[in-house]
């Protein structure tokens, strides 16, 4: 059963979302503040965190950062009334996997959770089909344990980063448009913006490239798309 933490200070919204998810078979816990969310997170295991941005006390950005310091695997969906591009990008840059802007439908929320859980489970699905590591130069992806290594040093990746990098490494030197990556990694029913691909590519580069501004592995062909470059 998928365990979800709903972090929302407005009681009516928190109760409605939590009740609806429970009816769908999810295990749900609620937090009305960032402080309470972090306390629950320290004492319980969650698969997904639905995180409101505007919270009393510690805001959603800070909660996201604190969670990512100790856990890279949990899925984080930011829920906010803010629609400015910079707020969406900031949430993704600091570690959120996805975002929803209020008001949103429960159907859209379910699709986002399903898509996120699909990315979280990519390692388990791959492990059931193969036992070998995925190796490319100095990089190694452990599909059974959802771990990624650069020169034998572990690199902490979020579920979305891991899934995106896994897909590209499985298709070395193949060029993919943002639309193609969105369908392959986020799912064909995903209704978010293409910008989510760019932000995740940028985050991965910051973690694995010596010079993220001039990448050697996770490359761009301007106006066309992205590829995992391997010298043959």
Q: Quick: pLDDT tens for 5-61.
A: 999 999 999 999 999 999 999 999 999 999 999 999 999 999 999 999 989 899 999
pLDDT in tens, 60-79: 999 999 999 999 889 999 98
Domain identity same for 90 and 18: yes
Is 110 within the bounds of a domain? Answer: no
Query: Are 11 and 95 members of one domain?
Result: yes
The pLDDT of residue 128 is 46
Instruction: For residue 133, give the CATH number of its domain.
Output: 1.10.10.10
Residue 150 CB neighbours (<10 A): 15
Q: In what order do the strands lie in the sheet with 139-142?
A: 134-136, 139-142, 147-150, 153-155
The answer on 142 and 74 residing in a single domain is: no
Predicted local confidence at residue 194, as pLDDT: 86
- Reported as a pLDDT band with limits 50, 70 and 90, residue 232 is low
Which is higher by pLDDT, 169 or 190? 169
Determine, yes or no, domain membership for 118: no
What does pTM read for this prediction?
A: 0.76
Residue 26 lies in a domain: yes
Co-location of 97 and 128 in the same domain: no
Residues 174 and 143 in one domain: yes
What is the residue range of 134's domain? 123-228
Q: Tally the domains of the chain.
A: 2
Confidence check: pLDDT of 156 > 60: yes
């Amino acid at each position: 059963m998928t365990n979800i933490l709903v972090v929302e200070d407005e009681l009516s919204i928190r109760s409605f979302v939590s009740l609806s998810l429970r009816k769908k078979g999810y295990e749900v816990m609620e937090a009305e503040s960032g402080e309470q969310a972090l306390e629950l997170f320290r004492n319980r295991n969650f698969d997904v965190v639905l995180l409101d941005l505007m919270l009393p006390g510690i805001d959603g950005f800070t909660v996201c950062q604190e969670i990512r310091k100790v856990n890279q695997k949990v899925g984080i969906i930011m829920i906010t009334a803010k629609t400015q591009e910079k707020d969406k990008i900031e949430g993704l840059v600091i570690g959120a996997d996805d975002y929803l802007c209020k008001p949103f439908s429960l159907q859209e929320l379910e699709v986002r959770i399903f898509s996120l859980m699909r990315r979280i489970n990519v390692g388990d699905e791959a492990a059931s089909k193969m036992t070998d590591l995925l190796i490319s130069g100095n990089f190694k992806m452990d599909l059974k344990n959802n771990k990624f290594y650069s020169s034998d040093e572990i690199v902490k990746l979020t579920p979305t980063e891991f899934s995106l990098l896994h897909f590209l490494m499985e298709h070395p030197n193949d060029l993919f448009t943002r639309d193609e990556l969105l369908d392959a990694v986020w799912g064909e029913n995903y209704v978010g913006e293409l910008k989510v691909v760019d932000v995740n590519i940028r985050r991965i580069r910051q973690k694995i490239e010596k010079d993220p501004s001039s990448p050697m592995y996770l490359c761009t062909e301007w106006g066309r798309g992205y590829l995992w470059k391997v010298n043959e």
